[in-house]
Amino acid sequence: MQYGYVVAIADYRGLYASFGTNLAFNRGEWVDAARMDAYDVIEWLAKQPWSSGKVGMWGCSATGGSQLQAATTAPPQLKAIFPMSCEFDVYPFGVPGGVARASGNTSAPPMSVPPALRDAASAAVDGADAALLSQAIAQHSANIDNAGLVPFRDSRSEPFAVEWWLKSSPHTYLDELRASGIAMYVAANWNEGMTKYGAFFTFNNLEHTKMVIGPAGHCEWTKVKDDTAFDIVVEERRFFDRWLKDIENCVMREPPVYYYTYNAPAGKEWQAASSWPLPGEQRTPYYFAEGALSTTAPPAGTAVDMAQVQYGVTAQNRATKGLNYTTEPLAADLQVTGHPVVELWLASTATDGDFVVTLEDLAADGTATSYFMEGRLRASHRALKDPPYDNLELPWHPFTQAEAQPLVPGEPVLLSFDLQPMSIVFAKGHRIRVVLTFADAATATAVPAPMVTVHRNAEHASRITLPEIR
């Protein structure tokens, strides 16, 4: 109560101390049986004698996604939310680039706590009869964590009888989110996985929205404070003071984007901007040459690189298991902030393949650094369509079963896809390296391993376009 707020924590239906049945672990709030639970809890809280009648929500990862779910139902008393590191379009998070596991993708993330351990960790609500906890846990026996085989965006989950990725994706409810009028402040960190995507698309598709991006891993805002002195808790309190207490503190008049840039000059690591992508962005193509990246377009003729697919790719060995394309040492510092896009012309002896592009900062001593600056695409998912939301003019893939298209062995095709957003200064004397590998950790091993041909001539100019800030 130091700042005049009451904090309430609620478990999802069918999890921990809550009664009921849960489907799909931390995405269970999207199924019809649970969809309105957050609405009911929020409206109950707003009616309590100690409540002002205005409610906000805060949380990271699963509890970030629960805020967007709540917002889709537009509880009248929910005035502001602060969702962190959660998705906007959930399929690319669950099945990045359409690269499904050999045994099929499920909705249960790898870090899911086994049901028996969840129940063992459950604690009775303060002041409640301990017998109630046992009764709640008994109802969990009907829980189903796994949505089953759902490799396509429109795959139907047999256990849940819904098109799972569409049912559980906030972008499906974009009209409801826009109509809710709920103020939102989204957050993510550069050095986390696919969850950082959500902040940028949520910010650009909704009004009354702000965004902050820090330099750490998933939900590691304590590390951000320790490393940079930026305390997100202060920003959260300012935001909620404005929307829950009507304190005009100018938080909504300040620039809506606040972001950190790796390797920026001292004192300029944190910057504010009026929009995303940044207003001063210059999109510069770097063409693949023989082991090189060049801003000069390739000449006519035949120029290819051939390599056999190697499996077991990791961050430590990717440079030796793929093809490398590297600039000359930079003559001056170069800031890259935004979403790179790669266009690959390639052919394979196989009818499909998984292609991963990683951008690295290569120091003079050979040390390579990358902050999840990568993108991937399964070749059969290369089809492009107009997106159902503002996709920042990036390539958008439908990932549906009907749009899947196998490769014709030996026939060149174009793969266009974006890399995860980033903000980094490549220092003078450093080089920019693109590493292209032909397998993901989820890629099924084939014997013999396919041969891949990367084309890089005038007719088939493979390239990466970088969002430079000059």
**Mean pLDDT along residues 394-423:** 97
- The domain that contains 293 carries what CATH number? 2.60.120.260
Tokens of 383: 């089809």
Residue 239 shares a structural domain with residue 316: no
- The domain that contains 178 carries what CATH number? 3.40.50
120: phi then psi, degrees, rounded to nearest 5: -65, -30
Which residue range(s) make up the domain with 215?
25-273
**Mean pLDDT along residues 46-69:** 96
Half-sphere exposure of residue 99: CA atoms within 13 angstroms, side-chain side? 18
383 pLDDT band, cuts 50/70/90, is very high
Question: Is 20 a domain residue?
Answer: no
103 pLDDT band, cuts 50/70/90, is low
Residue 267 shares a structural domain with residue 293: no
Residue 452 shares a structural domain with residue 304: yes
| Cα separation, 392 vs 396, whole angstroms | 10
218 pLDDT band, cuts 50/70/90, is very high
Question: Is 36 a domain residue?
Answer: yes
Q: What is the pLDDT of residues 220-233, one digit of tens each?
A: 999 999 999 999 99
Residues 191, 238, 201, 264: is their CA dihedral positive or negative? negative
Best CA proximity match to 138, nearest among 160, 122, 114: 122
Residue 330 shares a structural domain with residue 415: yes
Q: Is the pLDDT of residue 128 over 80?
A: no
pLDDT value at position 83?
98
Q: What is the pLDDT of residues 246-286, one digit of tens each?
A: 999 999 999 999 999 999 999 999 999 999 999 989 999 99
448 pLDDT band, cuts 50/70/90, is very high
Better-predicted residue by pLDDT, 423 or 107:
423
Q: What is the pLDDT of residues 276-322, one digit of tens each?
A: 999 989 999 999 999 999 999 999 988 999 999 999 999 999 999 99
Share of the chain above pLDDT 70, in %: 97
Question: Is 10 a domain residue?
Answer: no
Q: Is the pLDDT of residue 138 over 80?
A: yes
Best CA proximity match to 145, nearest among 183, 177, 107: 107
Of 273, 302, 337, which closes a domain? Answer: 273
Of 257, 273, 289, which closes a domain? Answer: 273
Residue 221 shares a structural domain with residue 153: yes
Share of the chain above pLDDT 90, in %: 86
Q: Mean pLDDT in the chain? A: 94
Q: What is the pLDDT of residues 13-38, one digit of tens each?
A: 999 999 999 998 888 899 999 999 99
Question: Is 114 a domain residue?
Answer: yes
Question: How many domains is the chain built from?
Answer: 2
Q: Is the pLDDT of residue 106 over 90?
A: no
Q: Is the pLDDT of residue 172 over 80?
A: yes
Q: Are 373 and 422 in contact (CB under 8 A)?
A: yes
From 94-108, 355-369, 410-424, the region with the lowest mean pLDDT = 94-108
Residue 290 shares a structural domain with residue 229: no
Q: Is the pLDDT of residue 109 over 80?
A: no
Q: Is the pLDDT of residue 112 over 80?
A: no
Q: Is the pLDDT of residue 119 over 80?
A: yes
Q: Is the pLDDT of residue 105 over 90?
A: no
Residue 116 shares a structural domain with residue 94: yes
Q: Is the pLDDT of residue 395 over 90?
A: yes
Interacting residues of 392 by C-beta distance below 8 A, sequence separation 6+ = 200, 201, 204, 276, 277, 339
What's the pTM? 0.94
**Mean pLDDT along residues 139-161:** 92
Of 273, 294, 324, which closes a domain? Answer: 273
Residue whose pair of structure tokens reads 């040390």 in the numeric block: 367
